[in-house]
């Protein structure tokens, strides 16, 4: 079996991630920050360490500014719905995922916000001049996908951070956290939403949001935190302000271990390895006449995610045959991102997305190319 669907969720997970979840479940199991016993304290420590290690990865100086959520969508909702108020203007590129576009579109339709969608090129590059020109007096948020989930295009965050100036800059790092270097200080990021189950190698149901000091988000949920229990007022300090209810402790424990896996390998080494895979895949695809490759077509400017279509064949047929005849898992369709497909010219039929991760090999790239050659030439 060849798994080329890592942009959806990474598979397999490092054994240490599975071991950590198992060990927690068998020897600790407690809820952190509630009861006062040693096991509860130990659970609290594991969450603390996961938070600290994520901050190491993203260069967040104060770890309480990074809060856990159940996924990137949850984090993006907290950032968007918690920040924006009546009359605010928001700027997004045309490549944004539904996890950003749906909350924004909801606010737009309610008449709460104004929205500017900045065009991107067919390869997914943002028009920075247009971005700059879209800024208004009431612009309250610039939200950008760090790496496209459809074609892998990496956005120039440092330049956008510079352009955004005092305007809060929200980055959706679902596809990049762990795979591409992220430095919230160097890139001027004010809100960083990430997921745990992709290139951070944690389990599903984990994610988080970094919130820069000075940015006050309205919490979307209120409830038990284990702190200030004597009061009906929800705590106003982080991380408790945005983390209520029993957390996904086993998930966060696994995520912490996934982050340590990434820190141990080094993001640059992971990136180098995935660029080699991407280069080999792109070079091989170029030789198959019937295949069209979307996105930058350059491993330096994209993640290990490549979208293709095959002349004369539906994307769904190609993906189905890859799965059933060649045991290759890919993702077909619109990838929760109609905006990106409209931008690259593949709406509404979609593409076959081949997305690799650190556990894929050059040999697997060769086998995928061979399978595609056979599918394209078969009658």
Partner 1 sequence: MRRSEKSPRPPSQSLRSNRQLRLFMKDGDSSKAKAGERCAAVLEAIHYVIKGEKILKSAGLGIDVIPVPREISSDCGMALEFSCQDRDRVEHLLADGDITVVGIYALRKGHYTRL
Stretch that binds partner 1, among 40-48, 90-98, 125-133, 297-305 (CB under 8 A): 40-48
Instruction: Pick the closer one to partner 1 by CB: 152 or 256.
Output: 256
Enumerate residues 132-151 that contact partner 1 by CB under 8 A: none
Instruction: Pick the closer one to partner 1 by CB: 82 or 256.
Output: 256
Stretch that binds partner 1, among 4-12, 44-52, 166-174, 291-299 (CB under 8 A): 44-52
**263: CB partners within 8 A, 6+ apart:** 53, 56, 57
Q: How many residues bind partner 1 (CB under 8 A)?
A: 40
Token pair of 355 as six digits = 């997305």
Q: Is 42 among the residues that bind partner 1 (CB under 8 A)?
A: yes
Q: Give the nearest distance from C-beta 282 to partner 1 in angstroms.
A: 37
Q: Give the nearest distance from C-beta 205 to partner 1 in angstroms.
A: 18
Out of 9, 59, 64, 181, which residue is the one contacting partner 1 (CB under 8 A)?
64
Element (H, E) at 117: strand 113-118
Q: What's the angle, vertex CA 296, arms to CA 116 and CA 311, rounded to 5?
A: 105
- Give the strand pairing for 207-211 and 331-333: unpaired
Q: Give the nearest distance from C-beta 134 to partner 1 in angstroms.
A: 36
Stretch that binds partner 1, among 19-27, 140-148, 295-303, 339-347 (CB under 8 A): 19-27
Q: Is 379 among the residues that bind partner 1 (CB under 8 A)?
A: no
Instruction: Pick the closer one to partner 1 by CB: 264 or 345.
Output: 264
Neighbours of 378 (CB within 10 A): 9
- Give the strand pairing for 191-195 and 169-172: parallel
Element (H, E) at 118: strand 113-118
Stretch that binds partner 1, among 29-37, 70-78, 266-274, 366-374 (CB under 8 A): 29-37
Residue entry with tokens 């028009």: 127
- Give the strand pairing for 66-69 and 207-211: antiparallel
Instruction: Pick the closer one to partner 1 by CB: 60 or 180.
Output: 60
Q: For residues 376 and 310, what is the distance between their CA atoms, to the nearest angstrom?
A: 7
Question: Which regions of 262-347 does DSSP assign to beta strands (E)?
Answer: 291-294, 305-310, 328-329, 331-333
| CA-based R_g, the chain, Å | 21
Q: Is 18 among the residues that bind partner 1 (CB under 8 A)?
A: no
Neighbours of 267 (CB within 10 A): 18
Enumerate residues 210-269 that contact partner 1 by CB under 8 A: 225-230, 235, 237, 239-240, 253, 256-257, 260
Out of 11, 23, 115, 212, which residue is the one contacting partner 1 (CB under 8 A)?
23
Stretch that binds partner 1, among 27-35, 99-107, 145-153, 180-188 (CB under 8 A): 27-35
Q: Is 63 among the residues that bind partner 1 (CB under 8 A)?
A: yes
Q: Give the nearest distance from C-beta 170 to partner 1 in angstroms.
A: 23
Question: DSSP string spanning 129-197?
Answer: HHHHHH--TTEEEEEEESB-TTT-BBP-HHHHHHHHTTS-EEEE-TTTBTTB---TTTTT-SEEEEESS
Instruction: Pick the closer one to partner 1 by CB: 190 or 240.
Output: 240
* Contact set with partner 1 (CB under 8 A): 16, 19-20, 23-24, 27-28, 32-39, 41-42, 44-46, 48-49, 51, 62-64, 225-230, 235, 237, 239-240, 253, 256-257, 260
């Amino acid at each position: 079996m060849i798994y080329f669907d890592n942009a959806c969720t990474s598979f397999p997970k490092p054994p240490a991630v599975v071991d950590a979840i198992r060990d927690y479940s068998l020897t600790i199991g407690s809820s952190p920050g509630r009861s006062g016993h040693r096991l509860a304290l130990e659970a609290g420590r594991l969450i603390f360490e996961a938070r600290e290690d994520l901050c190491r990865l993203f260069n967040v100086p104060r770890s309480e500014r990074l809060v856990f959520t159940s996924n990137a969508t949850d984090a993006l909702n907290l950032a968007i719905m918690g920040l924006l108020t009546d009359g605010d203007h928001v700027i997004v590129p045309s490549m944004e995922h539904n996890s950003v576009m749906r909350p924004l579109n909801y606010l737009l339709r309610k008449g709460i916000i104004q929205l500017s969608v900045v065009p991107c090129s067919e390869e997914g590059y943002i028009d920075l001049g247009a971005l700059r020109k879209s800024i208004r007096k009431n612009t309250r948020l610039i939200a950008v996908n760090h790496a496209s989930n459809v074609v892998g295009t990496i956005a120039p965050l440092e330049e956008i951070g510079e352009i955004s100036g005092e305007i809060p800059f929200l980055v959706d790092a679902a596809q990049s956290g762990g795979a591409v270097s992220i430095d919230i200080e160097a890139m001027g990021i004010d809100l960083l939403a990430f997921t745990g189950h992709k290139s951070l190698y944690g389990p599903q149901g984990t994610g988080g949001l970094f919130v820069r000091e000075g940015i006050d988000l309205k919490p979307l949920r209120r409830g038990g935190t284990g702190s200030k229990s004597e009061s009906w007022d929800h705590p106003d300090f982080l991380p408790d302000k945005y983390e209520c209810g029993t957390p996904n402790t086993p998930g966060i424990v696994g995520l912490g271990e996934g982050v340590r896996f990434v820190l141990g390998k080094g993001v640059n080494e992971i990136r180098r390895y995935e660029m080699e895979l991407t280069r080999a895949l792109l070079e091989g695809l170029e030789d198959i006449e019937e295949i069209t490759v979307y996105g930058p077509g350059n491993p330096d400017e994209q993640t290990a995610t490549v979208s293709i279509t095959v002349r004369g064949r539906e994307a769904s047929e190609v993906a189905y045959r890859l799965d059933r005849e060649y045991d290759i898992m890919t993702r077909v369709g619109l990838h929760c991102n109609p905006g990106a497909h409209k931008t690259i010219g593949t709406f509404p039929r979609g593409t076959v997305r081949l997305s690799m991760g650190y556990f894929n090999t050059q040999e697997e790239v060769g086998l995928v190319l061979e399978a595609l050659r056979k599918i394209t030439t078969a009658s």
